[in-house]
Structure 1
Amino acid sequence: MRPAGGGTAKPRRLRDELRELLLRLHFYVGLFIAPFLLVAAVTGILYALTPQIEQVVYDKELHASAPANGESVALAQQVQAARAAVPDGTIAEIRPPKDAESTTRVTFDSPSAEKDRQLTAFVDPHTGKVTGVLNTFGEWLPLRTWFDDMHRHLHLGDPGRVYSELAASWLWVLALSGIITWITRKIRKRSTRAYLLPTRKGPQRQRSMSLHATVGIWAAIGLFFLSATGLTWSQFAGGNVSALRASLHWSTPTVATDTTNTPAVAQDDVPQTAQKVLEVARGHDLGDPVAITPANDGGAWTVSQVQRSWPLKQDSLAIDPSSGSVVDSVKFEDWPLAGKLAEAGISLHMGILFGWVNQLVLIAVAAVVITLIVIGYRMWWRRRPKGPGAGLPKPLGRRVDTAGAYGILLAAAAMLGVLLPLLGVSLIIFMAVDLARQLLGAHRSMS
């Protein structure tokens, strides 16, 4: 078959075909997945700012005024005050104050709580008075919970989690395909500057593309990290990651709470028992901040460190509430390396590992994602008004001769689909659409 204008079609190498296929993949992903990434980036910025916002919004609940003498009431008295504030609840967790200016948190499973939420009573440790009761999700207060739900599933529940998983699944592919197509492009002068710094010369589109690519290269590490850690919370890939970690014995270890003939502690006795197990934990050098988890169905109580900022504190003890003896313990230093990295990575993704520095880095990376999307859409929009199919990458040629490239991408989809199902399925859909377009283009060329 001869190309338009005569002459013999010049055979292309597989490398060139694969590069052009990746270029189109990058374009389609950017065009259709970018809205998901945009929402994730904006909500991620808002989520990263919540620690400071919460300190203002929930000042009454979170803060206690430490007296000059530094005295405080017993933990048992504080827990009793919390029980009086939530009379229909069952105590699920107790968090003593992490410092003299913080309140004690007592979390309840309660029918009065909102759906999928718990009630947490905040108690001033110096006066023993309840400063407020809030609906919480784990340790998260209402504001952070709202932003977290927005970031994870747009307040749509499980169906909405598909959006965030698509965004996390494709983010690293988008970054990697962009890097490959940028560094393998044909340019006259191959220099470090040409790859890493935007050009100031040439047509507007060339300058925009250079800015888009070089910013993406500088941000690549952050994009890969956000994608990898974000997938740990996802609906489908997250389950596969957890199963893989379990099979490799990389899961986060937990203390064994089974004890022989240890009955459940009555709710009326929980305050005094909490005081008892906390004193045992202190005697075993388990420092603040800690969370006490009662065994409401019987067995040992758990006292665990919950510091997720650097340095991480995650030691745990299982304590028999009857005898006060330690039945099991797990130290963070004994965790498998993968478990430590996963814990640190999640905290880093949430912006709490290194305090405000961590927050600023996350905000900067999210801002870069937004910038890349805006530049990308701007380039597409400038090409758009050129007729049917305008703005789309041109077909590879007058005939469909990309079987090798499609085969490689199909193999990648099959392998990735095992761990990242949404990525595998959507990648196959891309290939089907792209192949149909190639066939249509070849048919029109013969007409």
Structure 2
Amino acid sequence: MAVTPELASPEQVETAVRSARRPSPFGGLLLRLHFYAGILVAPFLLVAATTGILFAFTPQIERAVYSAELTVDNPGSAALPLADQVAAARATHASGDLLSVRPGEGSLTTQVDFSDPSLDADHQHTVYVNPYTGKVTGQLTTWWTATPLNEWLDNLHANLHLGETGALYSELAASWLWVIALGGVVLWWRRLSGNRKARRLLAPDLSAKKGVRRTRGWHAATGTWLTVGLLFLSATGLTWSNHAGANFEEFIHSLDSSRPAVSTDLTAAAVASPGGGHHAGMNMGGAAEAATVDPAAITTVYQAARDAGITGAVTIAVPADANTAWSVTGNDSLWPVGRDSVAMDSTGKIVERIDFADWPVLAKLTQWGIYAHMGQLFGLANQILLAALAFGLICVIIWGYRMWWQRRPTRSDRRALAGVPATGGNWTGLPAWTIAVGLPLVFAAGWFLPLFGIPLLGFLAIDLIVTSIRKRRRGSDSPVSPAPAGQ
């Protein structure tokens, strides 16, 4: 007898719909792709989520570890001239070229960066100065102005301290996170066919008995809640990756939407050029050239930048020679982002200015995305949201592996250590028009995201092999109804 939807329980409706639904090649393929990706990529996502939580709270950890270097206990009412602060730093660190200065305000110290022949180009020697007394509070070897702890946590999250090889893990995780998230939502939507109420989509079925059905409810409902945030983390994470990130930069550059930087060339041939990165416009020149620039001019330059409306935290890049301009760039990552920049000569005359409001839209989105991914754009609220996303992802992964265990065959003649991918459906069984439309799109995505495309080929190859083996076994064994797998 047919089940009346109005009188049936949610369990009866789901059972009736699933029994009446025809197998779909697309659904079967998506189910097994989600299965393979979940099993093989999830460990990388688990590491990225765990290290991401640590990195999100770097500012608080830094303040605790480097409180002496970064902050002053009793801020004064007026800061010393910036040139005097730089002179105090130079008296402590006599060698190396003066590279850049980040003036301290409020309870923050002034940070003065010097080159050091014993360090590589990515590292500097930073001296921290109390802006009110001129007293040096500490010295650190910094990485693109970041503290050693910041560098350690950044590398832990990005490459597990394994360099270029380790960076493949985070790019693989970001390349597949969006696929797994969207695939999971589609599978959950398909499973609830005929009963797609918001409560069913967004809340686990607490009435379900213990087992795979209850675990799947928590896995799918939580994943649905996290989808938008996970897509954001995937997209912004890929912009920093080695391979997909390079393709992204090339694409942005082709649209003339790169992050701009002021030109610091004071010669007649000076032209504005696009730039980016932590040290855009920063001088890394030699000692003989830097000697031609009077460091005392920094007070005039700083005041001129303030008079020109450059507010908030700034970085002052010191020129290499008389033909190079000083640059003052806002580095406030809180909303609203302060990234206005000016270039000027030693008298404070502005020769070029680029305001953040005039940046290309894609460049703004990229900058906002970077700051939000790092937990800086909205301060503590941003950090808490990132931690919640990461913790939710960890739970979803754990529930996914639990389902894998719960679905394992337990019959005496069919025992297995874990669940197996669902039967039915194969990419070779898709309609011709689906392959004709989908194949170019998948190829394009695989080319733009190499660590999505290459593993995808591996998953499809594994799927063909597993399907072939299972067909042979079914041909020699008696028919057995396989346990459902996947989503």
What does the per-residue CA deviation read over 1:235-279, in whole Å, with 9 as the maximum and x for residues that have no partner? Answer: 100011111111112111111111128998634854212222112
The answer for the alignment partner of 2:401 in structure 1 is: 377
Q: 2:53 aligns with which of 30, 45, 55?
A: 45
**C-alpha separation in 1, matches of 2:399 and 2:427:** 32
5 Å matches for 1:150-189?
Answer: 150-185=156-191, 187=193, 189=195
Superposition deviation, residue 219 in structure 1: 0.6
**AA in 1 matched with 2:233:** L
1:400, 1:442 within 8 Å by CA — same for their partners in 2?
Answer: no
Q: Secondary structure at the match of 2:24?
A: helix
Q: 1:424 aligns with which of 448, 453, 461?
A: 453
Query: Aligned in 2, Cα 1:74/1:440: closer, same or farther, shift over 3 Å?
Result: same
Q: Say whether residues 1:290 and 2:318 are aligned partners.
A: no
The answer for the alignment partner of 2:149 in structure 1 is: 143
Superposition deviation, residue 438 in structure 1: 1.6
Superposition deviation, residue 437 in structure 1: 1.6
The answer for the alignment partner of 2:481 in structure 1 is: none
**AA in 1 matched with 2:54:** L
Aligned residues: 432
The answer for the alignment partner of 2:278 in structure 1 is: none
**C-alpha separation in 2, matches of 1:345 and 1:440:** 45
Q: 1:228 aligns with which of 227, 235, 255?
A: 235
Q: Say whether residues 1:34 and 2:38 are aligned partners.
A: no
1:413, 1:427 within 8 Å by CA — same for their partners in 2?
Answer: no
**AA in 2 matched with 1:445:** R
What does the per-residue CA deviation read over 1:345-374, in whole Å, with 9 as the maximum and x for residues that have no partner? Answer: 111111111111111100000000100011
Q: Say whether residues 1:118 and 2:121 are aligned partners.
A: no
Q: Say whether residues 1:23 and 2:51 are aligned partners.
A: no
**C-alpha separation in 1, matches of 2:426 and 2:391:** 41
RMSD: 2.5
Q: Say whether residues 1:64 and 2:72 are aligned partners.
A: yes
Q: Say whether residues 1:414 and 2:421 are aligned partners.
A: no
Query: Aligned in 2, Cα 1:352/1:190: closer, same or farther, shift over 3 Å?
Result: closer
**AA in 1 matched with 2:107:** E
2:26, 2:427 within 8 Å by CA — same for their partners in 1?
Answer: no
**C-alpha separation in 1, matches of 2:348 and 2:455:** 55
**AA in 2 matched with 1:247:** S
Superposition deviation, residue 77 in structure 1: 1.5
Query: Aligned in 2, Cα 1:118/1:337: closer, same or farther, shift over 3 Å?
Result: same
1:255, 1:316 within 8 Å by CA — same for their partners in 2?
Answer: yes
**C-alpha separation in 2, matches of 1:390 and 1:384:** 4
The answer for the alignment partner of 1:437 in structure 2 is: 466
**AA in 2 matched with 1:96:** P
**C-alpha separation in 2, matches of 1:415 and 1:397:** 24
Structure 1: give runs of 5+ residues left out of the alignment.
1-11
Q: Secondary structure at the match of 2:260?
A: coil
**C-alpha separation in 1, matches of 2:208 and 2:393:** 25
**C-alpha separation in 1, matches of 2:426 and 2:68:** 70
**AA in 1 matched with 2:454:** V
Q: 2:114 aligns with which of 85, 93, 108?
A: 108
Superposition deviation, residue 48 in structure 1: 1.1
Q: Say whether residues 1:244 and 2:273 are aligned partners.
A: no
What does the per-residue CA deviation read over 1:70-108, in whole Å, with 9 as the maximum and x for residues that have no partner? Answer: 2332211111221232322222211011x2321100112
Q: 1:131 aligns with which of 121, 125, 137?
A: 137
Q: Secondary structure at the match of 2:239?
A: helix
Query: Aligned in 2, Cα 1:410/1:434: closer, same or farther, shift over 3 Å?
Result: farther
Q: Say whether residues 1:394 and 2:422 are aligned partners.
A: yes
Superposition deviation, residue 382 in structure 1: 2.3
What does the per-residue CA deviation read over 1:380-439, in whole Å, with 9 as the maximum and x for residues that have no partner? Answer: 122346435741113217997457577766444301022111111111111111112222
**C-alpha separation in 2, matches of 1:337 and 1:225:** 17
Q: 1:273 aligns with which of 297, 311, 318?
A: 297
Query: Aligned in 2, Cα 1:256/1:216: closer, same or farther, shift over 3 Å?
Result: same
**AA in 2 matched with 1:338:** L
Q: Secondary structure at the match of 1:394?
A: coil
Q: 1:309 aligns with which of 312, 324, 334?
A: 334
1:308, 1:352 within 8 Å by CA — same for their partners in 2?
Answer: yes
**C-alpha separation in 2, matches of 1:216 and 1:29:** 15
Q: Which has the higher contact order (CA 8 A, sep 6+)?
A: 2
The answer for the alignment partner of 1:254 in structure 2 is: 261
Query: Aligned in 2, Cα 1:87/1:399: closer, same or farther, shift over 3 Å?
Result: closer
The answer for the alignment partner of 2:386 in structure 1 is: 362
The answer for the alignment partner of 2:360 in structure 1 is: 336
**C-alpha separation in 2, matches of 1:18 and 1:45:** 36
**C-alpha separation in 2, matches of 1:56 and 1:232:** 30
Query: Aligned in 2, Cα 1:115/1:342: closer, same or farther, shift over 3 Å?
Result: closer
What does the per-residue CA deviation read over 1:285-326, in whole Å, with 9 as the maximum and x for residues that have no partner? Answer: 2123111011225411111111110111111001123x4321
**C-alpha separation in 1, matches of 2:81 and 2:127:** 16
**C-alpha separation in 2, matches of 1:187 and 1:254:** 52
TM-score by length of 2: 0.83
The answer for the alignment partner of 1:74 in structure 2 is: 81
Q: Secondary structure at the match of 1:94?
A: strand
**C-alpha separation in 1, matches of 2:159 and 2:395:** 23
Q: 2:348 aligns with which of 316, 319, 324?
A: 324
**C-alpha separation in 2, matches of 1:33 and 1:315:** 40
**C-alpha separation in 2, matches of 1:65 and 1:398:** 66
**AA in 1 matched with 2:70:** L
Superposition deviation, residue 109 in structure 1: 2.1
**C-alpha separation in 2, matches of 1:21 and 1:319:** 60
1:107, 1:120 within 8 Å by CA — same for their partners in 2?
Answer: yes
What does the per-residue CA deviation read over 1:127-184, in whole Å, with 9 as the maximum and x for residues that have no partner? Answer: 1121111121123211111111000000011111100000011001000000011101
**AA in 2 matched with 1:309:** L
| More divergent stretch after superposition (424-433 vs 174-183) | 424-433
Structure 2: give runs of 5+ residues left out of the alignment.
1-20, 271-284, 477-487
1:219, 1:365 within 8 Å by CA — same for their partners in 2?
Answer: yes
The answer for the alignment partner of 1:4 in structure 2 is: none
> Structure 1 vs Structure 2: percent identity of aligned residues?
44
**C-alpha separation in 1, matches of 2:446 and 2:425:** 30
What does the per-residue CA deviation read over 1:184-238, in whole Å, with 9 as the maximum and x for residues that have no partner? Answer: 1265533222222111233421111011001000110100000000111101000
What does the per-residue CA deviation read over 1:10-35, in whole Å, with 9 as the maximum and x for residues that have no partner? Answer: xx97x811111111111111111111
